[in-house]
Chain A
Amino acid sequence: MDEHEEQARFEESVMPHLDAAYNLARWLTRNEHDAQDVVQDAFVRALKFFGGFRGGNSRSWLLTIVRNTCYSWLEKNRKHELVTAFDEDLHAIEDNSHNPELLLLKDADRQVVRQAVEELPVEFREVIVLRELEEMSYKEIAEIEGVPIGTVMSRLARARKMLHQCVARQIETGGTK
């Protein structure tokens, strides 16, 4: 295919997902400037691999590249963040609170929620962003993360449980840190 034609096709099908790309990179790097660098890098990579992309879901395709670019960046610059705090298999969905209290949240607790998501370990933050903000299916998330659907389910359950605990604790102790 002609190079300019390919470039035009790339801009038409991939550029519209810039918002999603930035949002994911921003959540994974937790920094505005690093997120921009990662996004730029990811788009350059995406263009390079675009020849191998034969239609389908261009948002998932791009986010896979953004995600991998983020992890390379984290590996290089924030290696300690990649150390998983939980062994997922050992701690898989153990929900022992047999008689939970009702969670009550006010509008003013938005900041608490945001902070709770920010404090999640990276793979749990990632699954929350893809599911709750990008509204992707388990299957799409599994493809982006390169894990089985069962792992997506358990990560998501784990992530929500951590969020719940964090938010409930914050409200109990009275507001944000």
Chain B
Amino acid sequence: MNCQESRELKHAYSDGELDLVRSVEIEKHVGDCEACARDYQNLRTLRSAIGSSDLYFKPPAGLRNRVRSAIRGKEKSTDAAGPVFSWVWLKWGLSLTGTALTACVVTAVLLTASADDRLADDITAGHVRSLMASHLTDVPSSDQHTVKPWFDGKLDFAPPVVDLKEHGFPLAGGRLDYLENRPVAALVYQRQKHFINLFIWPANGAGAVEEKTFIRKGYNLVHWTTAGMTFWAVSDLNGTELHDFAELIQGQAAPASPR
């Protein structure tokens, strides 16, 4: 190895990036050549000066938290896209009507609508999941007197369980599900080859809510509140038959007794 090569390769050598053969060569050359030895010594001096000069900048105290809230905030802002949108419409409502009263009604309607819309998505997801996971029922039984007691001790309420076999909607069983941050009852009914999931849990407010229908991803949903219970029926059954089913349940379900 000559001086030129030695001085070109000294960096790679110093950084431990040089292969063994050339490392041995450069060591031999630096051992023999005084000028190259000095040159290499200077590189070592410089590098050790850099190493001991405390050049590493430590982040200021608040930066970690600032970054953390920025990345968490980013997640939040994506979630908040919906409500922001409603707020725009609400402002529209305000400017159009000019009265606070109407604005309140608009807000209430918007909030209820969006809550139901979101719930309809969750209900549909619950229905699809129950069919996919081969976990349609925890208690497969067409006997309402078997299904109803099964929920005892598993829920803090007693869901009304009725059989509608005579009307062409035989009970297939019951299952625990989880919606709105709480365990709920899911009753499974059948109509020929179609399954109906009927989700039931205690209603938040008093007062009945009349039947509302939704369509999600090709599934029909019917929602109502009666006798202190919230009901959601979901199925791939057509809307008319699902409505008939809902009417039968409303007509036959005995008022439940929240414990």
By the criterion CB–CB under 8 Å, are B42 and A103 in contact?
A: yes
A114 touches B53 (CB 8 A): yes
Q: A99's closest neighbor in chain B, by CB?
A: B35
Q: Is the CB of A109 within 8 A of B55?
A: no
**A113 CB contact (under 8 Å) in B35, B49, B72:** B49
Say yes or no: is B154 at the interface (Cβ < 8 Å to chain A). no
The smallest C-beta distance from B181 to any residue of chain A, in angstroms, reads 15
Contact A104 B45 (CB under 8 A): yes
Asked whether B67 lies within 8 Å of A39 as measured between CB atoms, the reply is yes
Interface size on B, residues (CB 8 A): 38
Residues of chain B contacted by A47 (CB below 8 angstroms): 71, 74-75
Do the beta carbons of A157 and B8 come within 8 Å of each other?
A: yes
**Which residues between 131 and 177 of chain A lie within 8 Å of chain B, taking CB atoms?**
131-133, 137-138, 153, 156-157, 160, 163-164, 167
User: Are B71 and A10 in contact, with the CB atoms below 8 A?
Assistant: yes
One of B58-66, B145-153, B167-175, B234-242 at the interface = B58-66
Complex interface: chain B residues within 8 A of A124 (CB): none
Give A67 to B39 CA distance when docked, in angstroms.
32
B-binding segment of A16-24, A52-60, A70-78, A79-87? A16-24
B91 at the interface (CB under 8 A from A): no
Q: Which residues of B contact A105 (CB under 8 A)?
A: 45-46, 49
B 28-55 to A, binary, CB cutoff 8 A, 1 in contact else 0 = 0000000100110111011101111111
Of the 9-residue stretches B9-17, B130-138, B193-201, B217-225, which lies at the interface with chain A? B9-17
Is there contact, CB below 8 Å, between A36 and B71?
A: no
- Residues of A in contact with B (beta carbons under 8 Å apart): 3, 7, 10-11, 15, 18-19, 22-23, 26-27, 32, 35-36, 39-40, 43-44, 47-48, 93, 95, 97-105, 107, 109-110, 113-114, 117, 128-129, 131-133, 137-138, 153, 156-157, 160, 163-164, 167
Chain B interface residues (CB < 8 Å from chain A): 3, 7-8, 11-12, 15, 17, 35, 38-39, 41-43, 45-47, 49-60, 63-64, 66-68, 70-72, 74-75
Chosen A-B contacts, 16 in total, with CB atoms closer than 8 Å, are A11-B71, A18-B67, A23-B59, A44-B74, A47-B71, A93-B7, A100-B35, A100-B39, A102-B42, A105-B46, A113-B50, A153-B17, A157-B8, A160-B11, A163-B50, A164-B42
- List 7 extra interface pairs beyond A19-B59, A27-B57, CB under 8 A: A10-B71, A18-B63, A23-B57, A36-B60, A99-B38, A133-B55, A164-B42
